[in-house]
Copies of this chain bind each other. A is one copy, B any other.
Amino acid sequence: MTHSLADGWFTEVFDQQGSAFSLKVKGKIDSAQSEFQSIDIYDTETFGKLMVIDGCTMVSTRENFVYHEMMSHVALFAHPAPKKVAIIGGGDCGTLREVLKHTGVEQVWQIDIDELVTRMSEKHFPELCESNDDPRANILFADGIQWIKDCEPESLDVIIIDSTDPVGPAEGLFAVDFYQDCFKALAPLGIVVQQSESPLYHSNSIIKKIHVDMAAAGASSSHTVPFPQVIYPSGWWSCTLASKGGDTTSFRIEDSAAKSFRTEYYNAEMHAAGLAIPEFMRRALGMAD
């Protein structure tokens, strides 16, 4: 998976699509292996620190804000009044930090299978972990699939599936069985949001399948929101929302416009903008001829 552009670069090769992205690095500054995956930390020249899991770029200091804000605020402002939130995966704690910016949120559970991700994030991305001691935060290291299965029915408002790619440990998070358990755990009007890969690379495959599977699991509506993510394959990424009885294309626009916290990417206009779908995607997803 990891080829070297030359000494002094980290490269992620995305074999399926014959593309690769590289960052110039000062060096690898940490490395560890859990029972699930290997984690490397690089110090880059212009992107700050870079976390790499099993050869795939996960988080950089410079531009993780887009992903974390879009994975959290879109779903939380789409829900009428989110109080109980679960994050499946998300061990770097960046999504947790964003969720906790919502003062109406009463409890958040973050369930990542791999404690090492969080330990590495605490060490190298302390800014992402700055809300970990919030009394509303429950940071658990367990199997998220089982945790959702064991959830009290109708006990959650938002479930955020902040996972790695649908291979290896995260494969079971892209499956209709898991989505059914999510919908059982969601209260009425609850929302599940999942990172859903690249609009250019995956509209006809992973993204399309998520919509089909979410509908099969009981979603009343689902919608994909594209956003740029420079270090991920193709530099263009997405999340997909699905609702239990509500509409994923509406949101609390006044609350979003009057939000009390600072963001770097998200705002009410960007939320509305994220709901627009390019023509080729509309065709791939059966939204246009």
Contacts and interface: CB of A to CB of B under 8 A. Distances in A.
B11 A19 contact: no
Contacts of A47: 18-19
A200 B63 contact: yes
A228 interface: yes
Interface residues of A, number: 48
A234 B226 contact: no
Q: How many subunits of this chain does the assembly comprise? A: 2
Main SS class of interface, A: mixed
B22 A20 contact: yes
Nearest to A198: B230
A20 B19 contact: no
A205 to B, nearest CB: 13
Contacts of A228: 199-200, 226, 228, 234-236
18 contacts: A5-B20, A18-B47, A19-B24, A19-B46, A20-B23, A200-B230, A226-B228, A228-B234, A228-B235, A228-B236, A262-B279, A264-B278, A264-B279, A265-B279, A265-B280, A266-B278, A272-B273, A273-B276
